[in-house]
Structure 1
Amino acid sequence: MAPRFKNLDGSIPQSFNTVFKWAVADKLAGRRRKSPDRAPVPTVEPDLAALATPPAPGEGARLTWLGHASWLVQLDGLSLLIDPVLRDAINVVIRRNVPPGVPPEKLPPITASLVSHNHYDHLDLPSLEQVRAPIVTGLGHARLFRGAKLPCTELDWWGSTKVGPVTVHYVPSQHWSRRGLNDANEMLWGGFVIEGSSARLYHSGDTAYFDGFKEIGRRYPGIDAAMLPIGAYDPAWFMSKQHMNPEEAVQSFEDLGARHFMAMHWGTFKLTDEPLNEPPQRLDAEWTRRAWPREKLHVLAVGESLTVRNG
């Protein structure tokens, strides 16, 4: 059966053969880079009193990194979650390196959860069920949430919906999807542009570097903060078609024309072969090489917040 969805360039980066070569053949042959399953990653205690009150209209947006690709985004009196994965492990096997920045029971009331795609490190059904907020995601996902009785709004690329006063746009990424044995690429993958009264935000979801960043920047100029992945890139022969390395993430930031770089997708789960704490080191080196302003780069600690606004 032909895949239902493809990338903008017509590609589908995954096949059984490439997964088997990386996961099994190269491992057995000793060709994979070895690194520890654990590493020190900065964490801070979240300011729960501040998080209890989202910024009002005109006050910008508060972004709190919860680890991996999970964010608490608060603006215009609302609290949104993006890709909340808040349990101790994904898929039973892969355990967290650091706890979530805010435990689910201490989150403020959530208006909606935005889910970029169906991979288990981005769509964690138990976390979403615990939060009990309506879902905004890509085409093909609603059936996953029917049993949990979670309302779901599905969007195609470039589609939009309103969450209270906030507009959420679903935008392309360069990736793929699979949740079971027989559902490859039957659910759409993507990222989000979130527009409020005084901030425009971008979350890429999972993505390789692709020309779509320039188009997203063209359609949504003036992005105040771009949440961009910097980890899960080694080995490049396998990962570069689905994830960015730190240098590519910096180039995507330039393509988007965004004002602030917010690093994510590193340090939480050991998914690939690079050391867990290597991505921010490479990111810092690339930023230094380009001699860009340091105040635009943000590698938050898990649990840390930053407020951004227009202008």
Structure 2
Amino acid sequence: MELTWHGHSTWYVAVDGTSLLIDPFFDNPHTSLDVSDVPTPDYVLLTHGHADHIADASAFTDATVVGTPELTGWVADKRGADDTIGMNLGGTVECGDAYVTMHRADHTNGIGTDYEYGAGMPAGYVIGDTQPTREDDEDAFAFYHAGDTGLMSEMRDVIGTFLEPDAAALPVGDHFTMGPAQAAIAADWLDVDHVFPMHYDTFPPIEIDVDRVEREVAATGADAEVHVLDGDESYVFDRPYADG
């Protein structure tokens, strides 16, 4: 699995022969790419309807758009998406070579400047290369994109315990989401091996010292390795899954 961070919460994920773009928003200071430079993915995954997560969804209407039924319906009606998959919390859908499980995020939701459209529940995604199972599968690998969220006990009680992601992209910018201290607790609860900070330094309210994330993770006693990526930088997990 290959993960590429394009700033804010925008990730390009490759699972074998399938590409997935999460929360496309290329008007941010961490990417040098114009949206027209981005290869069209097979799937676009949207966590919620805020503008800094769906701003560039209309540039990828040839892809299959995945999200809550309310959000995918809006993208189809207002942004011209031809192919959508509306799913809901707890569900898993097969997206090419990837298995995508939607889980809740603790945040607000709505579309438009005045949030005149509801977009259902905000969400995060666990993306795996095998179907989720309670049976032992040592070769399986899963990446958790937490979306915009605060710390929530489901990270410990459900996502970490039963969905068992190996790596997690966690918002750390504070103000609108978790900050470094709560993200470190999330990393501990999730019991992941790898943490990728996101949703920080995009605009003034979420400017932070990102080095705090590693210090806070160490302070929790978590075993996770923190990877602070540059914009448009990739990280590759190869089988057997080790550091990229």
String of CA shifts for 1:17-48, please: whole Å, max 9, x gaps.
xxxxxxxxxxxxxxxxxxxxxxxxxxxxxxxx
Aligned residue identity for 1:206: D
Is the 8 Å Cα contact of residues 266 and 279 (structure 1) preserved in structure 2?
no
| TM-fit CA distance, 1:129 | 1.9
2:31 corresponds to which residue? 100
Unaligned runs of 5+ in 2: 131-139
Q: Does 1:123 align with 2:54?
A: yes
Secondary structure class of the residue paired with 1:192: strand
Is the 8 Å Cα contact of residues 99 and 129 (structure 2) preserved in structure 1?
yes
Secondary structure class of the residue paired with 1:227: strand
1:205 corresponds to which residue? 147
Is the 8 Å Cα contact of residues 23 and 45 (structure 2) preserved in structure 1?
yes
String of CA shifts for 1:184-221, please: whole Å, max 9, x gaps.
75522110000115521100000011111111112212
Secondary structure class of the residue paired with 1:258: coil
Is the 8 Å Cα contact of residues 80 and 114 (structure 1) preserved in structure 2?
yes
Secondary structure class of the residue paired with 2:186: helix
Where has structure 1 moved over 6 Å in runs of 4 or more?
none
* Equivalent of 2:197 in 263, 267, 276: 263
Distance (Å, rounded) in 2 between the aligned partners of 1:80 and 1:279: 29
| TM-fit CA distance, 1:162 | 1.1
Pairing of 1:129-144 with structure 2 (within 5 A): 129-132=58-61, 133-144=63-74
Secondary structure class of the residue paired with 1:178: coil
Query: Would the alpha carbon gap of residues 167 and 232 (structure 1) be closer, same or farther in structure 2, given more than 3 Å must change?
Result: same
* Equivalent of 1:160 in 92, 96, 100: 92
Distance (Å, rounded) in 1 between the aligned partners of 2:47 and 2:92: 14
1:76 corresponds to which residue? 16
Pairing of 1:39-58 with structure 2 (within 5 A): none
Q: Taking every aligned residue pair, what percent have the same amino acid on both sides?
A: 27
Pairing of 1:163-202 with structure 2 (within 5 A): 163-180=95-112, 181=114, 183=116, 186-197=119-130, 198-202=140-144
Query: Would the alpha carbon gap of residues 292 and 145 (structure 1) be closer, same or farther in structure 2, given more than 3 Å must change?
Result: closer
Is the 8 Å Cα contact of residues 79 and 108 (structure 1) preserved in structure 2?
no
* Equivalent of 1:219 in 132, 138, 162: 162
TM-score (norm 2): 0.84
Aligned CA-pair RMSD: 2.1
Give the length in aligned residue pairs. 226
2:4 corresponds to which residue? 64
Distance (Å, rounded) in 1 between the aligned partners of 2:7 and 2:71: 23
1:308 corresponds to which residue? 237
